[in-house]
């Protein structure tokens, strides 16, 4: 017996998702509180069988709800060349969307 899960492609990255799971994905353009559907399901597993797409499983979709748009911790990029007086300090914060998987169909 297999647990229900799916492998879905979101913004060019693959995620293994379960129903009612919360995860962070690269920033999506949807509003907070809205629902979003992902059609590119690469693998689908239910209680009876596992379906592998070639490249996607036809008729399968994953629905999710957008919870928030957040930023990751700051990554410091520091460059230096010794004895030259060259120092550059830059920072970057990656933007993510917090979603909750509502259903796998």
Which helix (H) or strand (E) segment is 61 a member of?
A: none
- Six token digits for residue 31: 């509003």
Q: Binning pLDDT at 50, 70 and 90, where does residue 54 land?
A: confident
This model's pTM is above 0.85: no
pLDDT at 57 over 70: yes
Q: Which of 37, 32, 1, 33 is nearest to 17 (CA)?
A: 37
Give the domain range for residue 39.
Answer: 5-104
Q: Binning pLDDT at 50, 70 and 90, where does residue 78 land?
A: very high
Q: What is the pLDDT of residue 2?
A: 60
Q: In the chain, how many domains are there?
A: 1
């Amino acid at each position: 017996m297999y647990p229900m899960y799916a492998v879905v492609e979101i913004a060019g990255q693959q995620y293994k998702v379960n129903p009612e799971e919360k995860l962070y994905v690269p920033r999506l353009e949807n509003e907070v509180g809205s629902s979003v559907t992902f059609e590119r399901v690469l693998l689908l597993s239910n209680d009876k069988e596992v379906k592998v797409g070639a490249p996607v499983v036809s008729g399968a979709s994953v629905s999710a709800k957008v919870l928030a748009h957040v930023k990751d911790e700051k990554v410091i990029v520091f460059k230096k060349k010794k004895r030259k007086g060259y120092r550059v300090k830059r920072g970057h914060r990656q933007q993510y969307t917090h979603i909750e998987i509502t259903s796998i169909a």
